[in-house]
Structure 1
């Protein structure tokens, strides 16, 4: 799991449009890809915009996972719901490809968080994945974990 680097960034709030699934750690490997397959056709220009995978923890095992994108001119297209990412400090980590997503999350939440004392998890904000326009599973993407001093 070496090779991951974490930087702290301050982000502005962002409003997105998307769809969600309620899932668990045990079912996420099936539920999250299926959600993306349902989401992409709902937003024809998704591949021309950055897209976000947003995790809102409900308890230690269950969470809502959103597939979302920047809505055109702040509008929420029909069939999609509005979801926000709050402003604040986030730990950012680049992941080389989709196959490494589990390693990236484990590194951030277990290795990195435990290895330093300046930052702690901000449980009031969601974590999220940020995918570039025209992204594919072999390309790198970023993970963001909400943190506070």
Structure 2
């Protein structure tokens, strides 16, 4: 029995505002955690809604990681930039807590993607995490991987 379930969903485009760090697979855990610690106090300047962790791959090792929230109308607050999640098909995987994020991504990219024929990775779109507004590290959240037929 699999620990994770995957469902392919259509996700609407989202205009977000946040901050980013350029990191690598080897430094991601510490860099992304530090980024969230910087961003969380600023979230009320943006929107009191869900948080998004967005990964934009630059090569096999390096990527830009964004901590972001939905953008209100108007200019971005000081020190923040706009980032977009494009509309499209995404494989969604709910993970039970933050400790399980690595296992969730491994399941999606290795076990699920390689174990079915209908979908392949859409390398033109970012993968992202969606954290509920009242989220804490012991609560479940969703991972989204862009896919295409």
TM-score band by shorter chain is over 0.9
Inter-partner Cα distance in structure 2 for 1:67 and 1:101: 15
Structure 2: where are the runs of 5+ without partners?
Answer: none
Structure 1: where are the runs of 5+ without partners?
Answer: none
Contact 2:46 2:72 in 1 (8 A): no
Inter-partner Cα distance in structure 2 for 1:108 and 1:115: 10
**1:101-120 paired onto structure 2 within 5 Å:** 101-120=101-120
Q: What is the aligned-residue RMSD (CA, Å)? A: 1.5
- Runs (4+) of structure 1 moved beyond 6 Å? none
Contact 2:90 2:145 in 1 (8 A): yes
Q: What residue number does 1:139 align with?
A: 139
Cα gap change, 1:101 to 1:46, in 2 (>3 Å): farther
Q: TM-score, normalised by structure 2?
A: 0.95
Inter-partner Cα distance in structure 2 for 1:75 and 1:6: 36
Q: TM-score, normalised by structure 1?
A: 0.95
How many residues align? The count is 149
Q: What residue number does 1:61 align with?
A: 61
